[in-house]
């Protein structure tokens, strides 16, 4: 059974989609980015205020989770191989400098002003709901039945690889790290949506876990930029690795690598994941193990 906080996430997201569509509200990009950066800074500062040892644990877990998700995505996705029609040699990873600055400044603030921890713990959840609401307003125009029907075979394959790989990686991580399954699955079912996964996980497992969820999912995005042109024959796997970011941040790398025909499955893959991540996260955090 979902708790009140989980239900709040789902209700706020659906309400924002409805409000955006009914009143034709399109949130400016800089407003959405500003809300995300405030949230990133807050979760980073909150985690750092827990102490250096908590940061070390978070970074260690991040490496393990990221390695497992890449391994399972390409392991399962290797069953769907195809040559790309177009490969660009100019695709490069694009560091998100505002995010990097927000993380670094948040860490420094948390380390040297750890008295802020009590205040930050009170504002994280309202910021989560703000990001959820802003996301709905930003993406409501892309949601329609025609777009879903046009997703195609590649989209369905990528979606299945994404979900199965996250589940299997979560099980292995739980055993290897000796952590609860609900914790490991909550990290991996962020599916690239770092601005949501980090603070949501932090509400249930603490700031160190929230930082881990944030780092795993943002590094998943960066890994997509690096690995897609290198492993282009695994089209389904590379789209799967992009997670929820394939409808926006990483979309360009798929178009560069595979041509314009990759746009529809990539957008649909990212859209569906963005829609179901809050539901998946709300379910896994309530598991008894």
Give the tens place of pLDDT for each residue, 174-207: 999 999 999 999 999 999 988 788 888 988 898 8
In which domain, by residue range, is 190 found?
A: 4-284
Q: Report whether pLDDT(63) > 80.
A: yes
Q: Report whether pLDDT(252) > 80.
A: no
Q: Report whether pLDDT(3) > 90.
A: no
Name the domain count of the chain.
1
For the stretch 84-113, pLDDT in tens is 444 444 445 455 578 678 878 888 898 888
Position 223 in a domain: yes
Position 260 in a domain: yes
**Secondary structure element (H or E) that encloses residue 177, with its range:** helix 152-177
Position 289 in a domain: no
Contact criterion met (CB below 8 Å) for 73 and 228: no
CA distance 220 to 274: 15
The residues, any chain, with a CB within 8 Å of residue 188's CB and separated by 6 or more, are 65, 68, 69, 166, 167, 169, 170, 173, 216
At 171 the three-state DSSP class reads helix
Contact criterion met (CB below 8 Å) for 201 and 50: no
Stated pTM of the model? 0.72
Position 244 in a domain: yes
pLDDT at position 102, please?
81
Share of the chain above pLDDT 90, in %: 24
CA-based radius of gyration for the chain: 18
């Amino acid at each position: 059974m979902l708790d009140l906080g989980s239900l709040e996430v789902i209700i706020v997201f659906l309400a924002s989609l409805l409000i955006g569509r009914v009143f034709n509200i399109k949130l400016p990009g800089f407003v959405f980015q500003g809300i995300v950066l405030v949230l990133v800074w807050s979760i980073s500062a909150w985690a750092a205020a827990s102490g250096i040892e908590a940061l070390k644990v978070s970074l260690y877990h991040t490496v393990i989770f990221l390695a497992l998700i890449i391994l399972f995505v390409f392991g399962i996705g290797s069953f769907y191989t195809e040559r790309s029609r177009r490969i660009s040699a100019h695709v490069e990873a694009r560091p998100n400098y505002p995010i990097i600055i927000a993380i670094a400044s948040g860490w420094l603030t948390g380390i040297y002003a750890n008295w802020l921890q009590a205040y930050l713990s009170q504002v994280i959840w309202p910021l989560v709901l703000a990001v959820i609401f802003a996301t709905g307003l930003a993406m409501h125009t892309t949601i329609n039945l025609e777009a879903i029907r046009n997703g195609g075979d590649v989209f369905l394959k990528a979606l299945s690889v994404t979900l199965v790989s996250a589940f299997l990686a979560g099980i292995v991580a739980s055993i290897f790290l000796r952590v609860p399954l609900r914790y490991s699955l909550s990290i991996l079912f962020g599916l690239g949506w770092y601005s949501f996964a980090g603070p949501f996980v932090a509400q249930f497992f603490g700031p160190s876990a929230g930082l881990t969820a944030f780092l795993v999912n943002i590094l998943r995005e960066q890994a997509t930029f690096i690995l897609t042109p290198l492993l282009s024959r695994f089209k389904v796997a590379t789209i799967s690795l992009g997670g929820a970011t394939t409808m926006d941040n990483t979309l360009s790398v798929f178009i560069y690598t595979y041509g314009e025909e990759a746009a529809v499955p990539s957008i649909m893959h990212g859209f569906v994941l963005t829609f179901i991540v809050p539901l998946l996260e709300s379910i896994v955090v309530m598991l008894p193990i």
